[in-house]
Amino acid sequence: MSIDLAEQTVVVVGASSGMGRATALAFVKAGARVFAVARRADRLESLAKDAAGQAGTLTTIVADATIPADVERVISTASGENGRLDTLVYCTGANTPDRSLDRVTPEIWSSLLDANLTGAFLCTKAALPTMRTQGGGLIVYLSSAAVQMPDVSGVAYQASKHGLVGLAHGTRVEEKAHGIRTTVVFPGLCDTEILNARPVPTPQEVLSRALDPEDVAETVLFLARLPARAVVPELQLLPARI
């Protein structure tokens, strides 16, 4: 039987747009207590309006996942409501037009690694004590299909998304005795704002066949609804016609 998400505590990091926004809304509609985290306050305000009147509740937290103190505040706020943290979803992703090796700088490299990987590590570290105490929990990391199918998305982006795999699997092996599960989701082309950072715009005929953010959100809900005895270490989600 699938798990009822009503009353579960869920933290979605990177909830201001794209897959993260869709995921936060999907959990609220499923009845969860959602804590939506992002740096852009205005985007979170818009999300809160869209979440109003749904089965669950949504609390917005303005925070930067690359700042340890911000991350500790997020987890403390979320788990402090009822002493639980059932699911953590790390949706934050960034890229740059200056992604090719002849243009990427050490500063760009560091900024992308921070946003895409270091933030995930900080959130994981902060969430583990609560999950250990309660005897389990799920952490979902949104990576990229570029991990399996190398492309021209840039070495910094690809390295950071590869890094999520090591973080997820290492965490799962170390923490499985505490009932903590991890899943890495590898979405293919999805119509989100990150595509605006491409050096060359994606043709509309290609975008029309891309995934919607809601497709990714439904995938995350599927993972969260699995019983605690089951885990999906990796899940690839691709557009059917690309």
Residue found by looking up tokens 């990150």 in the block: 194
Active site residue 157: yes
Q: DSSP string of 84-102?
A: ---EEEE------S--STT
* C-alpha 138: how far from chain center: 12
The span from the CA of 89 to the CA of 139, in Å, is: 6
Longest dimension (CA), the chain: 52
For residue 179, the SS3 value is: coil
CA distances from 136 to 89, 99, 119, 179 (A): 15, 38, 21, 4
141 is catalytic: no
Among 29, 125, 141, 157, the one annotated catalytic: 157
Catalytic residue among 49, 125, 161, 176: 161
Q: How far apart (Å, rounded) are the C-alpha atoms in residues 152 and 102?
A: 13
Yes or no: say if 211 and 19 are a contact pair by the CB < 8 Å rule: no
Does residue 111 sit in helix, strand or coil?
helix
* Residues with a known catalytic role: 157, 161
